[in-house]
Amino acid sequence: MEQKNNLKSIIRPYKPTDKSAIVSLFRFGILEHVYPAFFKAMSHPDHIGMTLSVSVAGYVLGGSSYFQAVLFGGAWAFLVYYCCHEIYDSYLRRKLNAELADIQANFSDNQANGFWVAEMEVNGQSKVAGLLAVVKSDGLDANTDDAASLEVFQLVVSFNHRCKGLGTLLVETVLEFCKEQGLSRVIVEISSAQTAAISLFRKLGFTVTSVNSYIHANYLVSKLARINEIRMEKHL
């Protein structure tokens, strides 16, 4: 596969020397969604009503105390924040202890999978500015040929290098890889808080096929966080 260049950026396969930079970027790319998810959850009508109810309860129980009202409302908001953080943090821990524990073995040495990094020149030095990995689908849909599909493992672009086309280049590299492998479909499962990534995948021809409650967490945690899992697909 030809390497892609855009200004002073390059998309290339993962190298073992990238490991520490990849882990740091991946950690940032996952946890940065906590606050957007929290604010989105707190703006939901149900949560707004609950916040007001809890605050009123604190005001009454505290003997008309505004401090108690704020305290009760703050406790409720903290609980929602904890649930949002727990979902992304547990996902991060799970991936760091599984796929990212040995990137070389799980991606580079596995011809069915792939791992690419976006490298940019900063002050004369090359730095890892983005990553995208794909893994072979594993029974995602019993009614389709998943053997002819790959699933996007994760797409992350560092904050300082966004809006420079790196995300597009990474996804296009994956699409070329899939075509070379004779695959017919690319799948991505992404959280509802990742609005920029959702917009990018739409722009590149992915369509939403399902929206479900986040199932990889405790039911109560998922319910309070109000984070959905969005599945998108592109047929090649």
> Are 10 and 118 members of one domain?
yes
- What number is the average pLDDT over the span 32-50? 95
> Are 59 and 115 members of one domain?
no
Helix or strand run (H / E) with residue 87: helix 66-96
> Are 157 and 224 members of one domain?
yes
Which of 58, 73, 94 is the last residue in one of the domains?
Answer: 94
Torsion over CA of 80, 86, 92 and 93, rounded to 10 degrees?
170
Query: Is 64 within a domain?
Result: yes
Helix or strand run (H / E) with residue 118: strand 114-122
Number of folded domains in the chain? 2
DSSP state of 4: E
Q: Which residue range is the domain that position 74 belongs to?
A: 34-94
Query: Is 25 within a domain?
Result: no
CATH classification of the domain holding 174: 3.40.630.30
Q: In a 10 Å sphere around its CB, with 0-12 CB exposed, 13-18 middle and 19+ buried, how is residue 236 labelled?
A: middle
pTM of the model: 0.86
Which of 62, 94, 126 is the last residue in one of the domains?
Answer: 94
> Are 106 and 87 members of one domain?
no
Which of 43, 72, 94 is the last residue in one of the domains?
Answer: 94
Whether residue 206 contacts residue 172, with contact meaning beta carbons closer than 8 Å, is answered with no
> Are 119 and 194 members of one domain?
yes
Q: Which residues pair with 139 in a beta bridge?
A: none
- What number is the average pLDDT over the span 123-129? 85
Query: Is 28 within a domain?
Result: no
pLDDT tens-place string over residues 134-170: 998 765 444 455 557 889 988 999 988 888 889 999 9
Phi, psi angle pair for 230, to nearest 5°: -105, 125
Phi-psi region of 63 (alpha: psi -120 to 50; beta: other; left: phi over 0): left
Query: Is 24 within a domain?
Result: no
Query: Is 27 within a domain?
Result: no
> Are 182 and 121 members of one domain?
yes
pLDDT tens-place string over residues 68-120: 999 999 999 999 999 999 999 999 999 999 999 999 999 989 888 999 999 98
> Are 113 and 229 members of one domain?
yes
Q: In the chain, what is the greatest distance between 2 CA atoms, to the nearest angstrom?
A: 71
> Are 90 and 107 members of one domain?
no
DSSP state of 98: T
> Are 88 and 126 members of one domain?
no
Query: Is 26 within a domain?
Result: no
According to the model, what pLDDT value does residue 146 have?
52
